[in-house]
Structure formats: C-alpha cells, structure tokens
Amino acid sequence: MSHIVTVQDAVTAFADFMEPTNAELDAIEREMPVILADVELLDAHIVTLDRTPTELDVRRIRRARRRALAARVALLNRTAGANQSGGAA
C-alpha cells in the first residue's frame, strides 16, 4: 500500500523568499521590447492558423517578423555596448 503525502515544495512554491530579485526584474524590463515583438509575431501567425493567409496577413507577418528581429538586434547591441571594456588592451 502506498501512502499519499503532500510534497512540501509544491505547498511552498510561492513563498515570499522565492520572488524575483531586482536584477531579474531589470533583465525582464530590458528584454520587454523583444518579448512584445515576439507576442505580436505570434498573434500574426495565430490569425492565419485556420484559414489561408491573405496578402494583408502576409504583410502583417512580415512586418511583425522584422520588428522582432529589430528588437533582438537592438537588445544585442545594448548588451554588447555594456559589455565592452573602456580601455585598450
């Protein structure tokens, strides 16, 4: 006979000490333009799941893909600029 017991981790999964740190929240804030652009791209794809994409749908997907790519490039440029050393090697 096996006994059913509660798992302590499941009970305390959302305890106060498990909140995101300020550094994690800052990282999310920096990545928010990429997240929103990806959501927009996903929305554009979802619209076309149950039908053949029209020319307008194709343009919307193309624009959303470009915005997502531009947001990723901007994030990479910001992080690369922050990681560069100030002096000559």
Average pLDDT score over residue span 70-89: 81
Are the beta carbons of 75 and 30 closer than 8 angstroms?
Answer: yes
49 falls within a domain: yes
Is residue 7 helix, strand or coil? coil
In a domain, 1, yes or no: no
Q: What Cα–Cα distance (Å) separates residue 9 from each residue in 12, 13, 14, 15, 17?
A: 5, 6, 9, 10, 13
- 72 occurs within a structural domain: yes
Is position 78 within any domain? yes
Distance (Å, rounded) from C-alpha 81 to C-alpha 71? 15
14 is a domain residue? no
**36 within some domain:** yes
C-alpha 66/C-alpha 76 separation (Å) is 15
On the question of pLDDT at 89 being above 60, the answer is: no
Residue 70 covered by a domain: yes
pLDDT tens figures, 3-53: 666 665 555 566 667 788 999 999 999 999 999 999 999 999 999 999 999
pLDDT at 88 over 60: no
Residue ranges making up the domain that contains 55: 20-83
- 40 part of a folded domain: yes
Could you give the number of structural domains in the chain?
1
Question: Which pTM was predicted?
Answer: 0.69
